[in-house]
Chain A
Amino acid sequence: MQIYLPIAEVSVNAFLLLGLGGIVGILSGMFGVGGGFLMTPLLFFIGIPPAVAVATEANQIVASSFSGVLAHLKRKTVDLKMGTVLLIGGLIGSGLGIIIFNYLKSLGQVELLVQLCYVVFLGMIGSLMFLESLRAIRRAGQSGGAPVPTRRKHNWVHNLPFKMKFRVSGLYISVIPPLLVGVLVGILAAIMGVGGGFIMVPAMIYLLGMPTKVVVGTSLFQIIFVTAFTTMLHATTNQTVDVVLAVLLLVGGVIGAQIGTRIGVKMKAEQLRILLAIMVLAVCGKLAFDLLVMPAELYSLGAGGHS
């Protein structure tokens, strides 16, 4: 069934959108990532104008993250205190990110920068996570299921001032690292047009030393607010949020997120991490491939007007 999107001004198959939303929703619930880094390129691919895709995706992430976070709240796997600290950083970061984005836009080539950002960050995080999870799985196999040695070593992160107790995460650390993580994720989220979960989740695990079970819910909690902020910014400045597109994506997305959250609970933390790593690497590989291989059509059309 074809449906005409009022803001995007294109006609697309409604079931295709529902399906895309569903698949990305499952991944979102499983890994605590918003799924924007998958969905935004997919939307470009089916012919949604990039500006509309980025803005609408932010709105859709609000829905799937909210649905996911409710499931996590019920199981008490959300560290609200840590989430709030990350959120404060995130809002500062996305404000900064939009300033950087507009500056680069005035220089041209912003599209290339976004792509390079994707390749570099996805590649780095994907391979780090992949290697680490592989090591963890091998270790668990060798010791015959003996408890995995705790990753929560004392490093420089634990010697900073302004310490705060995060009971749900079982941490007593300075607020500076979470704040910085929030800012960094906020900047990247604004530039790359995603929620930033795929950066935040590894940062929480490896940098802050939070337990994997809490990480997903907390990341979703933070993403809701950052993407809501982004949606409002796009809606009021560019009028590029397509609510019809968002509804179709999020109907699939919220259902998928519920299923995904339940799958995620049943899986081991290492397995979860290695799957996320593979997915991140796959997207990275595809984007790098597109940059390196000669495109079939060298020309592209954009809106004219005076830039």
Chain B
Amino acid sequence: MIRWLALLMLFALPAKAEEIVLGLSRDEVAITATFEGSDILVFGAIKREAPADADSQLGVIVTIAGPDQPVMVRRKDRRLGIWVNTDAVEVDAAPSFYAVASSGPMRDVLKDTEDLRHRITIPRIIRSVGAEIDNSLDFTNALIRIRAGQELYQVQEGAVSVDQETLFRTAITLPANLTEGDYEAHIFLTRDGVVVDDYVTTIPVQKVGLERWLYNLAHDNALIYGLMSLAIAIASGWLASAAFSLLRP
């Protein structure tokens, strides 16, 4: 058995004849007061020792994932004539943002078994265990649908362009409603739908400047923050009143 495994290993090793060399247009994203979203250009090359295998189909998949968060998905139902939240399913971990771009149709560049192992497509990345409702799939589908509507979940089949089987590039748009955290850019290289190499890098997304300062103050010195908010409110109320009595004596 062990001998068989070792043989398999030997067989598997030369398969990594192709490797990803990666570049990113930016290695961090700063959320400023006027943040309107951001484009990240992901580009790279495939390094290989021997000439490319002409018989198998090359595929490149690029994903960018925001931090995982638990999400409560609620469903409304009609009770006594009014629509109220009845059932709820807690999804244990769903990324706050997820974009997946591929060099061709997903079913061509990625086999289902590989997807299951590497968790690449959107339905595979959402973890929901111990759901008490029978049709909890409806709830995860609703989660995907709502997030997709907010451009937080994106699928772009064919958005990765590959030049001469060597150079690849794609642009991923981060929307303005981003949450902070370490975002993970993941690049998969596939041959006939089987992952032959992958590469991970993190892109920190952080508030900066005034945004950072206010956020920290609100959480670390809540009392001072609250008093400051009130002081601003009172001052602007007084200012407006004073300005108007100057205008109309």
- Is this pair of chains taken from one and the same complex? yes
Chain A contacts for B91, CB-based, 8 A: 304
Closest beta carbon of chain B to A267's beta carbon, Å: 18
**Inter-chain contact A6/B229, CB cutoff 8 Å:** no
How extensive is the interface on chain A, given as a class? 35 or more
Partner-B contacts on A (CB < 8 A)? 1-4, 6-7, 9-11, 47, 59-60, 62-68, 70-71, 74, 109, 111-112, 228, 231-232, 234-237, 239, 241, 243-244, 246-247, 250-251, 254-255, 257-258, 290-295, 297-305, 307
Of all A-B residue pairs in the complex, the 10 with the closest CB atoms, nearest first, are A304-B70, A235-B226, A66-B237, A11-B176, A254-B240, A299-B142, A63-B233, A67-B237, A70-B241, A302-B72
A-B contacts besides A66-B234, A67-B236, 18 pairs, CB < 8 Å: A3-B33, A4-B35, A67-B240, A232-B226, A235-B223, A254-B236, A258-B240, A258-B241, A291-B83, A294-B83, A298-B77, A300-B73, A301-B72, A301-B146, A302-B72, A303-B69, A303-B71, A305-B72
15 pairs, A vs B, C-beta closer than 8 Å:
A7-B215, A9-B177, A11-B37, A59-B233, A63-B234, A112-B82, A228-B230, A231-B226, A232-B223, A243-B225, A243-B229, A299-B73, A299-B74, A300-B85, A300-B146
Size of the chain B interface, CB-CB below 8 angstroms: 63
Find out whether the CB atom of A66 lies under 8 angstroms from the CB atom of B214.
no
Q: Which A residues lie within 8 Å of B207 (CB)? A: 6
Q: Are B232 and A2 in contact (CB under 8 A)?
A: no
> Would you call B82 and A251 a contact (CB within 8 A)?
no
Contacting residue for B238 out of A66, A239, A300, A304, CB 8 A: A66
B34 within 8 A of A: yes
Task: List residues of chain B with CB within 8 A of the CB of A297.
Answer: 142, 146
Residues of B within 8 A of A (CB): 31-37, 69-78, 81-85, 90-92, 139, 142-143, 145-147, 176-180, 207, 210-212, 214-215, 218-219, 222-223, 225-230, 232-234, 236-241, 244-245
Which of B92, B139, B214 gathers most chain A CB within 10 Å? B214
Name the B residues within 8 Å of A70 (CB-CB): 237-238, 241
Q: Report how far A293 CA is from B143 CA in the complex, Å.
A: 22
Q: Given A7-B214, A239-B218 in contact, is the A250-B82 Cβ separation under 8 Å? A: no
Q: How far is the CA of A11 from the CA of B38 in the complex (A)?
A: 12
B230 lies within 8 A of A62 (CB)? yes
Distance in angstroms from B126 CB to nearest chain A CB is 12
Given A6-B207, A231-B229, A235-B226, answer yes or no on A244-B33 (Cβ-Cβ < 8 Å): yes
| CA distance in complex: A63, B72 (Å) | 35
Residues in A with CB closer than 8 Å to B245 are 74
Q: Return chain A residues, CB-CB under 8 Å to B69.
A: 303-304
**A300 in contact with B74 (CB, 8 Å):** yes
Q: CA separation between A298 and B87, bound complex, in Å?
A: 11
Q: Contacts of B77 on A, CB cut-off 8 Å?
A: 298
Question: Given B81, B82, B222, B236, which contacts A63 in the complex, CB threshold below 8 Å?
Answer: B236
Residue among B32, B71, B219 making CB contact with A301, cutoff 8 Å:
B71
Contacts known (A6-B214, A236-B222); A250 close to B76, Cβ less than 8 A = no
User: Given A111-B85, A239-B222, A294-B78: A4 and B241 within 8 A (CB)?
Assistant: no
Residues A254 and B142 in contact in the complex (CB < 8 Å), given A66-B234, A295-B83: no
CB distance from A295 to the nearest CB of B (A): 6
CB within 8 Å for A3 and B238 given contacts A59-B230, A243-B225, A301-B73: no
Which among A231, A294, A299 has the greatest number of chain B C-beta atoms within 10 A? A299
Bound CA span A235–B226, Å: 5
Contacts of A60 in B (CB 8 A): 233
